[in-house]
Structure 1
Amino acid sequence: MYEPNVVGDWQEYDEHAGLRVRVHRLEAAEPPRGRDDAAVGLTYFSVRVTIENRGARHVGVQLEDGQIDVRVGPDGEGAFIDWRNSEFIEGFDVYPLRRATAVVYAAGPQASLGQIDVQVHLRADEEWADRRLWAGGIELREEPVAAAPAGAGPGSLAHQVSAFLKDLEDQTEPGTA
C-alpha cells in the first residue's frame, strides 16, 4: 500500500534526476494581505512547498494554482485556498544547489485542521511529474480566558518580587545611605 509522505519529508523525483520536493512549515497563520471574504468562519493556515535541484543542470519548474491541492479533515474536504495571498512558482529556472519555495495560504474549519493532506503536481521542463502527497496537521486548542492575569494575585511570585523591590527601595532612600 502506498504511504503518503509526512509533512517535512523530502521526496525525490525519479523522472527528473536530482530534483526533490518537500511540503513543510504547516502552521496556523493569517494571510499577509488580509482575509478573503469567502473564508468567514474558517481558520487560516499556511504551508510551504520547496523545490530543490541537486542535479547537474538547471530545471525550469512551474508550481501554480491548480497544481497544489489541500484537503482537511477525515473526509478529505477541500480547503479554501486564498489565491490572492499565496505565492506560487511560475516558470522559474532552479539552478543546481538552489531552491524555490511556494507559500500557500488556505483555510478550513478549525475542528478539521488536525488532519491536512497536501498534494503536489509539479511541472518540470514542460513535463508533468507524478503527483505526490504529504500528510500532517495542526493542533489548535482554545485556551480558557482568565479573569485576571495568571500569577498576579497577592500570593504570587510576581507580587512577592514587587513587594521585595518596593521594600528595598524604601530602605535605600536618598540621604539614608
Structure 2
Amino acid sequence: MHQPNVTGDWQEYDDHAGLRVRVHGLEKAEPPRGRDDAAEGLAYFRFRVTVENRASDVFGIHLEDGQIDIRIGADGESAFFDWRNSQFIEGFDLYPLRRATAVLYAAGADASLNQVDIQIQLKADEEWAERYLWSGGIGLHEGEAEGADVAARTGAAVESLACQVSNFLRGEAGPGPA
C-alpha cells in the first residue's frame, strides 16, 4: 500500500482481476439497534464497504469485523467498532456485474471524526486479498473542518499523509459558504 484512497474511490485488486472495492458514505448516524454501552459519550458514525465484480467469474467474498480497522484523529487512535449493529458480507457468492455492500457502525470522540482512516482486507475465494486504506473525515466536504484545529495541525505537519489527504478533500469541496 503506497498511498491511501480517498473515501469514495474504487480500488482494483491486482490478485483478483475484475474485483474492486470502495469505502464510501462516511457520515454521522445512530445505529439501528441502539447504542452499545461501551460507546457512551462517543459520537456514532457509519460507512459502507461495497465490493463489485467486473469479471466473468463468480467470487466468494467474506468481510467481517476482524478484517476492518478504523483509526480516528491526528494520532490515529482506534475507534470503537460496533459489530453488533454492523451488517457484514459473510460467505457471499458475488456474480459478474453485481455488487455487495456492508453497512458498518463505529464510534469515536466527536472532535476526532474530522480525520478517519479505514483499512480493509477482503477475503475472496478463501484467499486474503491485499489490504487497502481509505482516508476521509466527517464534515470535510461541508467545510466544517476548516477551523483552527486543522490549521494548527497542518502548520505542524505540512508533509504528513493525513494533512495531504485533508487538503485534497478541502480542495475538492471548493470554497465553503460565505
Q: TM-score, normalised by structure 2?
A: 0.77
Aligned residue runs from structure 1 range 34-73, under 5 A: 34-73=34-73
Q: Distance in 2 between matches of 1:139 and 1:111?
A: 11
* Aligned-CA RMSD value: 1.2
The one-letter code sitting in structure 2 at the alignment partner of 1:81 is F
- Give the drift of 1:2: 2.0
Shift of 1:65: 1.1
Distance 2:28 2:36 in 1: 16
Q: Identity of paired residues, percent?
A: 72
2:74 match: 74
Aligned to 1:34, the other structure's residue is in SS state coil
Superposition deviation, residue 3 in structure 1: 1.5
Partner of residue 95, structure 2: 95
SS at match of 1:111: helix
**Count of paired positions:** 141
Which residue matches 2:165? none
Residue deviations 1:22-54, cap 9 Å, x none?
000000000000000000000000010000000
Please give the residue correspondences for 1:82-121 in structure 2 after superposition, counting only pairs within 5 Å: 82-121=82-121
Moved more, 35-44 or 132-141: 132-141
1:139 shift after superposition: 2.3
Q: Distance in 1 between matches of 2:14 and 2:52?
A: 14
1:132 — aligned with what?
132
Rg comparison, structure with higher value? 1
Could you list the per-position Cα deviations for residues 46-74 of structure 1 after superposition, in whole angstroms to 9, with x for gaps in the alignment?
Answer: 01000000000110000011101111001
TM-score of the pair, normalised by structure 1: 0.78
Letter in structure 1 aligned against 2:123:
R
Displaced runs of 4 or more, over 2 A:
none
Give ranges in structure 1 of 5+ residues lacking alignment: 142-177
Return the alpha-carbon distance in structure 1 between the equivalents of residues 40 and 78 of structure 2: 15
Deviations 1:72-121 (A, max 9, x none): 00111110011110000000000000000111100000000000000000
One-letter identity of the residue aligned with 1:31: P
1:16 aligned counterpart, secondary structure: coil
Match of 1:21 in 2: 21
In the alignment, the residues of structure 1 paired with residue 89 and residue 2 of structure 2 have an alpha-carbon distance, to the nearest angstrom, of 28
Inter-partner Cα distance in structure 2 for 1:129 and 1:120: 9
- Partner letter of residue 3 of structure 1? Q
Larger relative strand fraction? 2
Gaps of 5+ in 2: 145-178
1:17, 1:139 → 2: CA distance?
Answer: 34
